[in-house]
Structure formats: structure tokens, C-alpha cells
């Protein structure tokens, strides 16, 4: 007689491990299957860790999690061809113990998180790919892996197998990936000695900086770029909507190269040695792209469920939150001795609706469609801002009133008053 | 039949970087793997298990993290795993390591008679190939290095017939059991473990032995004290190749003469030789 698990979790990323940890620490019998050699071996992220969702799972994670730096400073840059306008926010109120976000390297972080789960009692099996869900009538009762005697049975299966979620697609829970609902992100980790890095960015005591960038660097395509400081390296990357990359026929590494050579970025990474190049899909379709996330004996969490807030660059925290909520759903149903059918698992969706995850996704549900159609936000406005500031700030013998008049005239040449008003209304609506 | 496989956890040398300033090896973030050569030894042992139902023990020495390597060996089908781990072992060279392993093997042998000890031909981090032979010498075992294939085992007569690679060809060697073999790479790739084995390995306890468990009383033979090897200096070798140079021009003849000019300038002796040939 084969052992039957309370829960089978497919994937050992943040979503799967959050679920696994929560279940195991409540005494459930959990097996988790990971395709990669170790948790984190297949993952790519900037990466910024948002503390809140992890804190709900492991309150004292700061004690031993492999965190790189806490973010004391955040910059947003609106970039033109050879200039940028930016905002900077830096505060001394944050420190290592109370910060809400940290830079991390995913490979060591995921391993740490998974180790915590294993210590809580999760049985983790790596290098094992789940090929199919085993169904009895319509009910999912287990999984079939690529190994000999590779069938496993459980009361409920949580799919946390990432953006591609082969499994959800194969089982018909999700449609094929659409190029306009995913972004392709590419990233480099550039080694820079700690002292140089800290001097360059003005950092002390594990402080870190995050720079988010948009504008000319994506060449009109829907996307953003980032630069994060780690302990002794910089993570730099750029991501654009896959449909746009396809249409423009621009290879992503070329975008990354020109980002690295942009006059605003180049001096920050000069002298560094590229340690790592990686690429990954990001599910950015938002609320509308979300598939059915629960059914007869199954739930989907994290990227596999398309839970990413691309506007705020959040994803792994949504994965952790959804993983934890899926686990809590299992625990509650188990307590009632009820069945893991669709009727009961709706609780997972209800929990997500009440959490920031779906509240945020709903808030921005039309954002991509609006910005996708109206590219002025990515092309015209960054240019206008940079050019206008340049001429306003130049002291060249022209009097200020004439300068202002000229600037306004130039702006209106690029975009009419009614156009600007329309854009403003659109942007407002897209974020309500 | 009882087979012991000696394994080591090593940093994946294909992913090692040298610190650009200090020149030391950066182990941070480099994944630790089971020494690839040991996998060939393990597979050979697993084949014996398939054929004769042998009992397989994997033995390693290293820090506690090395447990992962042993667990991996269990997942392929080994029956028992023992890790020698003790602060007193820190800094051991091949001499001290073979002493400790030999002591542990004696202990294992006293519980369950050992017939064959397997080891990879070398590790990919130290590359010495000394530990296997060192262990054999200390235990007075027959030593068969560079074994390609085990042709035949006669368990009754305690005899084994193997093919071992030599510089000029293949030697067919017969030996008495018990013996120690170091296994050559490339002849039997490790199998894909079954799921029940993976689960068993994930749950199975790895025995952790300190020096006392291994029966080592004399600490002057282990660790730094027992290691006469001294690392004088570590450095990253400079690439001997200079940077590539692009020569531009349309006419092949012109390009050729530019190339020759550059070559002769760099290697005057070549010029002399070529000129002599031409004459």
C-alpha cells in the first residue's frame, strides 16, 4: 500500500515553499517535488524580497536568511536617450531589523527557505519532474513523475510550478501562454568589490539602493529596467512585454547591453565583472490573465496563477502570500474533516480576495491595456520631461519668462493640451 | 557481499570563480556536488547490487553539509551512509584523510565484513588521486587503480577479474578479495534513481561519526597535525594567450604581408627559419 500524503506540492519556489512550510508546521504530511537540482536553481528574480509576506510565515527570518542589503534608498528614473529625470527617497528610519524590503540572491535564499520547510517536516524531492496529474473522474488524486515507480497520491495537490506551469496547461486548468501577457526579463549579476560599491552609492551598514527605470531604454516597448545593490554585486536587468520584443525583433540581451551603456548607468557598474547572465518569463497579464486557481482536489499559487503586480515590481511576495493562504485553506478543510472538492476549496479564492494580492491586482487590472495602447507614456513623456528640464535649467542668457514660454510651446508640439488631458485621465483611471 | 564506496562532496569546479583581487577561490554561491568520478564508482557498486544483491555503504569525510552528497548516494540505491565529521579532521591532507577513512573502514568491517572498497579515480577539487591508494595501503588491501570494468567476481573463491587501463592498453587483472578499486570515468553513467529510492533517501538517517566513533584515539595523525602537506601559494593562472587582433584590408596579399610582418616582429627566430627554408 502506497503512502498517501495530506498534500503534494509541485515546485519549490517561494509559493510552493510557503505552502509547504505552513502545512508542515501545522503537522500535515507534505511532499514537495522540485524539477531543479535544488530549490532556487531555476529561478531568476531581480531580486527584492518584501519582508511582510515572509514575516507572516517566518517571523524571525532576519536572524539567518541570506539577505544582501536592506533598501534604504529607492530611486525612480525617467530615462531619455542621454539623460534622466529622477526621484530619490532615502530614509535613516529604516535599518536591518525593521526594513520592509531587502535585496537577495535567489539561489541561496530559496535554499534557505526550503531548508526551513524541511526542518518543519516537509519531504523535499529534487530533480524530479511532475509529468501529469492523476485524476479519478474529475478529481485530482495525485501526480505522476518522470521517475521509475513515480506515482504519488495525496488528498490535495498544490501547483506551484511557476510561470510556465506545464502541469496546469496540460491539465487544462490554464490556457497557453500569450505573448502579450508575459514579459521577458534578462538580468546580469555584476561583481563589484564591497568597498567600491558602498562608496559609489554612499552606503553604510548594509544599506542598499534600488533604482527602477523606464523610458527610452525600452525603445517604446512596454517594460522597465532595474538596478539593485547586493553585498558585493549589482543586479541589473530589463524586461519587456514578450509581444513587443517579438514585434520589434529586438533581442533582449541587446537591450541589456544598451542599458549598461546608458550614460546614467554606465558609471555605476564600471569596473565590475559579469558573474551571471539569466533570463526568465514574468507573468504580467494581471487580473484579467488569471486562470481558474482551484478545482476538484487542486489549487494554483504564485506565478503559475499569474499572481504578479508588475506595476509595483512585486511577485515573489504574492507567491508567498498565495502559498500560505492555500495552505491555510487545506488546514481549515482538514480540521473540519471535509473533502477537498471545488466547493470547499473556493475558500482559497476568498482568502486571496481579502488579501492585498487580489485587491492590488484588481486595482491595476486595466493598467496594461491602457499603457499598452497609449505609448506616449513610454516615449513622448520621458522625452518631454528630460528635454524641458534641460532647457529650463540651462543658464544661457535667455530670460526665464521666455524660457518657460518656449518650453511649453515645445511640449505642446509633442502632445496637444487635449492629448495631455486625455492621457492624464487615462492614467488616473488605469490605477483606480 | 558488502561493498563500501568512498565519496566526497566537492565544489562544482565548472562554476568556481577566482576573486578578482585576492586571487582566492570564491566558494560562495558555488554549488556543492558529489564528486563526479565517485558517481562512476557508485554505479559500478550498484551494478554489483543488481547482480549479487550486495549491501552498499557509502562513506565520506567532511563538514556536516556533506550529508547532502551522502543522501544523494542513498537516493541512487546505496543502503547505508556514514559521514565522518569532527572538528579534529579540519585541515586534513590526503595522508590524514586516508588515515581517518581507514580507521572508519576498520570499524565498519568489524560490524559487517567488507569485500570491496570502491573509490573514484580522483576528486575534481584536489585532483591528487592519493586517498584511494592511501586507504588500501593502510588497510593492506589489494589495490586496483584505473579499473574500467569488473569482468567477473567469484564470491566463493574470493576472486575478482577486472580490466584496468594502463598507458599502453588494457590489463586483465585478477585479484584476491577484499580489495580496493579506483574506478575510471566514462564507462557507466549513473542511473536515474526511482522515486521510492528518492523518498527513502530523503527520509533515511545519515550516520554522523566523530573521531571517537571511527575509533581514532591518536589525534596527531589527523587534521592539520597529521598533514605534512603545506599549501605555499594559491594563484589564478594567467591566460597564456594574448588578446586577438583584427587585421583589416581588402587585398589578401596585403593582409598576408601585414600578418607575416607582425609574426616576424614577434617571433624573430621564426623569421630566420622561414628565410632559410626559402633560400
Give chain A positions within 8 Å (CB) of B46.
none
d(CA B276, CA B279): 5
Given an 8 Å threshold on Cβ–Cβ distance, is A123 in contact with B194? no
Q: Find which of B17, B28, B29 to mutate to test the A interface (most A CBs within 10 Å of its CB).
A: B29
Other beta carbons within 10 Å of A306: 26
Instruction: List the domain boundaries for chain A.
Output: 4-66+105-175+291-354, 68-103+177-288, 368-430
Q: Pick the residue from chain B with its C-alpha nearest to A151.
A: B195
ipTM of the complex, rounded to two decimals: 0.82
Can you give the pLDDT at residue B21? 65
Is the bond leading into B194 cis (omega within 30 degrees of zero)? no
Instruction: Evaluate if residue A365 carries a pLDDT over 70.
Output: yes
- Confirm if A165 and A319 have CB atoms less than 8 A apart: no
What is B2-221's CATH superfamily? HUPs (3.40.50.620)
Q: How far apart are CA B146 and CA B156, in angstroms?
A: 25
DSSP assignment, residue A401? H
pLDDT, one tens digit per residue, over A387-405 is: 999 988 889 899 999 999 9
The pLDDT assigned to A375 comes to 84
- Contact present, B142 and B16 (Cβ < 8 Å): no
CB < 8 Å to A1, chain B: none
Residue the block writes with cell 539567518? A64
Per-residue burial over A226-258, b if 16 or more Cβ lie within 10 Å, else e, is bbbbbbbbbbbbbbbbbbbbeeeebebeebbee
Euclidean distance between CA atoms A67 and A112, whole angstroms: 10
| Ranges of each domain in chain B | 2-221, 239-279
Alpha helices (H) in A121-187, listed in sequence order: 166-170
Give the nearest chain A residue to B20 (CA atoms): A273
pLDDT value at residue A192: 94
CB–CB contact B194 A31 (8 Å): no
Nearest CA in chain A to B194: A148
Burial of A293 (0-12, 13-18, 19+ CB in 10 A): buried
**Does A153 contact B at CB distance below 8 Å?**
no
Angle between helices A316-335 and A14-25 (to 10 degrees): 30
**What is the mean pLDDT of the segment spanning A157-183?**
92
Task: Please list every residue in chain A whose beta carbon sits closer than 8 Å to the beta carbon of residue B9.
Answer: none
CATH number corresponding to A4-66+105-175+291-354: 3.50.50.60
Question: Would you write out chain B's pLDDT as a tens digit for each of its 279 residues?
Answer: 999 999 999 988 777 777 666 666 676 667 789 999 999 999 999 999 999 999 999 999 999 999 999 999 999 999 999 999 999 998 889 999 999 999 999 999 999 999 999 999 999 888 889 999 999 999 999 999 999 999 999 988 999 999 999 888 999 999 999 999 999 887 778 899 999 999 999 998 899 999 999 999 888 999 988 999 887 877 777 777 777 888 887 888 888 888 888 888 888 888 888 888 887
CA dihedral B255, B258, B259, B260 (to 10 degrees): 120
Strand duo A207-215 + A67-79: pairing: parallel
The pLDDT value given to residue B231 = 79
Across the beta sheet with B80-84, the strand order is B170-176, B159-165, B142-154, B179-183, B116-120, B2-7, B55-61, B80-84, B207-209
State the pLDDT at residue B189. Answer: 85
Q: pLDDT (tens digit, 9 = 90+) per residue, A253-291? A: 999 999 999 999 999 999 999 988 999 999 998 898 999
| Helices and strands, counts by H and E, chain A | 15, 17
- A260 sits in which H/E element: helix A252-260
Interface contact flag, A149 B194, Cβ < 8 Å: yes
B195·A105 Cβ contact <8 A: no
**pLDDT more than 70, % of chain A:** 100
pTM above 0.80, yes or no: yes
Residues from chain A that touch B199, judged by Cβ atoms under 8 A, are: 31, 123, 125
B→A contacts (Cβ < 8 Å), by residue, are 17, 20-21, 29, 31, 192-196, 198-199, 202-203
The answer to whether residues A280 and A185 touch, using CB atoms and an 8 Å cutoff, is: yes
pLDDT one-digit tens code per residue, A81-140: 999 999 999 999 999 999 999 999 998 999 999 999 999 999 999 999 999 999 999 999
**pLDDT at B267 (0 to 100):** 87
Query: What's the gap in Å between the CA of B28 and the closest CA on chain A?
Result: 9
Residue numbers in B near A191 (CB within 8 A): 17, 20
Show residues of chain A in contact with B20, CB under 8 Å.
Answer: 191, 193, 273
Q: CB distance B199–A123 less than 8 Å?
A: yes
Domain A68-103+177-288 has CATH 3.90.1150.10: no
Residue A1 pLDDT: 47
For residues A265 and A257, give the distance between their C-alpha atoms in angstroms, rounded to a whole number: 11
Tell me which of B17 and A68 has the higher pLDDT: A68
Predicted pLDDT of residue A337: 95
Neighbouring residues of B193: CB distance < 8 A, sequence distance ≥ 6:
A147, A148, B75, B76, B77, B201
φ/ψ of A52, rounded to 5, equals -50, -50
Is A105 in CB contact (< 8 Å) with chain B?
yes
Amino acid at each position: 500500500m502506497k503512502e498517501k500524503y495530506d498534500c503534494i506540492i509541485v515546485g519549490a519556489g517561494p509559493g510552493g515553499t510557503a505552502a509547504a512550510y505552513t502545512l508542515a508546521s501545522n503537522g500535515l504530511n507534505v511532499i514537495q517535488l522540485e524539477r531543479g537540482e535544488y530549490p532556487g536553481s531555476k529561478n531568476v528574480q531581480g531580486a527584492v524580497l518584501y519582508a511582510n509576506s515572509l514575516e507572516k510565515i517566518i517571523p524571525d527570518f532576519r536572524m539567518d536568511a541570506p539577505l544582501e542589503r536592506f533598501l534604504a534608498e529607492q530611486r525612480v528614473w525617467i530615462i531619455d536617450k542621454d539623460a534622466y529625470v529622477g526621484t530619490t527617497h532615502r530614509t535613516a528610519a529604516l535599518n536591518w531589523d525593521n526594513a520592509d524590503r531587502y535585496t537577495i540572491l535567489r539561489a541561496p535564499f530559496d535554499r534557505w527557505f526550503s531548508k526551513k520547510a524541511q526542518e518543519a517536516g516537509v519531504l523535499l524531492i529534487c530533480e524530479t519532474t511532475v509529468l501529469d496529474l492523476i485524476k479519478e473522474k474529475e478529481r485530482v488524486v495525485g501526480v505522476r513523475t518522470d521517475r521509475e515507480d513515480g506515482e504519488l497520491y495525496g488528498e490535495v495537490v498544490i501547483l506551484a510550478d511557476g510561470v510556465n506551469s506545464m502541469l496546469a496547461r496540460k491539465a487544462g486548468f490554464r490556457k497557453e501562454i500569450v505573448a502579450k501577457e508575459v514579459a521577458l526579463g534578462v538580468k546580469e549579476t555584476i561583481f563589484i568589490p564591497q568597498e567600491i560599491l558602498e562608496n559609489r552609492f554612499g552606503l553604510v551598514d548594509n544599506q542598499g539602493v534600488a533604482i527602477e527605470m523606464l523610458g527610452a531604454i525600452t525603445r517604446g516597448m512596454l517594460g522597465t529596467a532595474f538596478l539593485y545593490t547586493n553585498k558585493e554585486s549589482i543586479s541589473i536587468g530589463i524586461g519587456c512585454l514578450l509581444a513587443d520584443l517579438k514585434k520589434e525583433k529586438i533581442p533582449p540581451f541587446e537591450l541589456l547591453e544598451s542599458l549598461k551603456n546608458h550614460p546614467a548607468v554606465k558609471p555605476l557598474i564600471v569596473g565590475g565583472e559579469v558573474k551571471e547572465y539569466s533570463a526568465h518569463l514574468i507573468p504580467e497579464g494581471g487580473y484579467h490573465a488569471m486562470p481558474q486557481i482551484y478545482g476538484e482536489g487542486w489549487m494554483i499559487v504564485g506565478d503559475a496563477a499569474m499572481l504578479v503586480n508588475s506595476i509595483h515590481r512585486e511577485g515573489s511576495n504574492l507567491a508567498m502570500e498565495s502559498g500560505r493562504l492555500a495552505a491555510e485553506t487545506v488546514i481549515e478543510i482538514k480540521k473540519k474533516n471535509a473533502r477537498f472538492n471545488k466547493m470547499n476549496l473556493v475558500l482559497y479564492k476568498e482568502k486571496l480576495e481579502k488579501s492585498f494580492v487580489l485587491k492590488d491586482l484588481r486595482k491595476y487590472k486595466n493598467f496594461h491595456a491602457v499603457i499598452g495602447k497609449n505609448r506616449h507614456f513610454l516615449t513622448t513623456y520621458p522625452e518631454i520631461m528630460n528635454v524641458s528640464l534641460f532647457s529650463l535649467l540651462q543658464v544661457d542668457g535667455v530670460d526665464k519668462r521666455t524660457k518657460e514660454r518656449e518650453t511649453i510651446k515645445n511640449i505642446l508640439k509633442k502632445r496637444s493640451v487635449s492629448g495631455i488631458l486625455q492621457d492624464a485621465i487615462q492614467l488616473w483611471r488605469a490605477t483606480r | 557481499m558488502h561493498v563500501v564506496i568512498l565519496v566526497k562532496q566537492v565544489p562544482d569546479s565548472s562554476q568556481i570563480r577566482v576573486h578578482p583581487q585576492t586571487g582566492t577561490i570564491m566558494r560562495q554561491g558555488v554549488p556543492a556536488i558529489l564528486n563526479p568520478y565517485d558517481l562512476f564508482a557508485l554505479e559500478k557498486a550498484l551494478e554489483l547490487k543488481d547482480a549479487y544483491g550486495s549491501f552498499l555503504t557509502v562513506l565520506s569525510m567532511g563538514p556536516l553539509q556533506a550529508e547532502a552528497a551522502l543522501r544523494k548516494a542513498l537516493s541512487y540505491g546505496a543502503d547505508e551512509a556514514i559521514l565522518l565529521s569532527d572538528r579534529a579532521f579540519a585541515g586534513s591532507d590526503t595522508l590524514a584523510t586516508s588515515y581517518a577513512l581507514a580507521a572508519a573502514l576498520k570499524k565498519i568491517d568489524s560490524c559487517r565484513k567488507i569485500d570491496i572498497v570502491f573509490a573514484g579515480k580522483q576528486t575534481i577539487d584536489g585532483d591528487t588521486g592519493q586517498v584511494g591508494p592511501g586507504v588500501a595501503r593502510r588497510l593492506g588491501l589489494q589495490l586496483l587503480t584505473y579499473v574500467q570494468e569488473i569482468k567477473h567476481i567469484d564470491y566463493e573463491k574470493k576472486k575478482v577479474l577486472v580490466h584496468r587501463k594502463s598507458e599502453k592498453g588494457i590489463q586483465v587483472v585478477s585479484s584476491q578479495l577484499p580489495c580496493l578499486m579506483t574506478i575510471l570515468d566514462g564507462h557507466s553513467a549513473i542511473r536515474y534513481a526511482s522515486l521510492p529510492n528518492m523518498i527513502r533517501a530523503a527520509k533515511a538517517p545519515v550516520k554522523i561519526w566523530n573521531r571517537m566513533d571511527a575509533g581514532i584515539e591518536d589525534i596527531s595523525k589527523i587534521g592539520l597535525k597529521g598533514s605534512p602537506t603545506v599549501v605555499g601559494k594559491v594563484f589564478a593562472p594567467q591566460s597564456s594567450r594574448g588578446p586577438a587582433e583584427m587585421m583589416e584590408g581588402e587585398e589578401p596579399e596585403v593582409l598576408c604581408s601585414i600578418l607575416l610582418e607582425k609574426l616576424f616582429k614577434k617571433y624573430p627566430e621564426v623569421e630566420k627559419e622561414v628565410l632559410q627554408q626559402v633560400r
